[in-house]
């Protein structure tokens, strides 16, 4: 979400101020997925949602 906001024109400095965060944290979050294939974050979301559904079903 942070990357999307910056792509839409909000500066990292302005976002950091709005979130009461240091701008260095915003910049780290922006580069977190650099070099990771596009499928990796999606597969993690799928796996974690399956794990949550199993945990809530009591199995």
Higher per-residue confidence, 45 vs 14:
14
Neighbours of 3 (CB within 10 A): 13
pLDDT at 44: 64
Residue 28 tokens, joined: 């780290």
Lowest mean per-residue pLDDT among 1-15, 21-35, 45-59? 45-59
With contact defined as beta carbons under 8 Å apart, do 24 and 17 qualify? Answer: no
With contact defined as beta carbons under 8 Å apart, do 15 and 27 qualify? Answer: no
Q: How confident is the model at residue 10 (pLDDT cuts 50, 70, 90)?
A: very high
* pTM score of the predicted model: 0.55
């Amino acid at each position: 979400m942070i990357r999307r906001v910056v792509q839409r024109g909000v500066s990292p400095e302005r976002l950091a101020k709005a979130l009461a965060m240091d701008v260095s944290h915003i910049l780290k979050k922006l580069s977190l997925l650099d070099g990771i294939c596009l499928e990796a974050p999606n597969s993690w979301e799928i796996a974690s949602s399956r794990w949550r559904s199993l945990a809530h079903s009591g199995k």
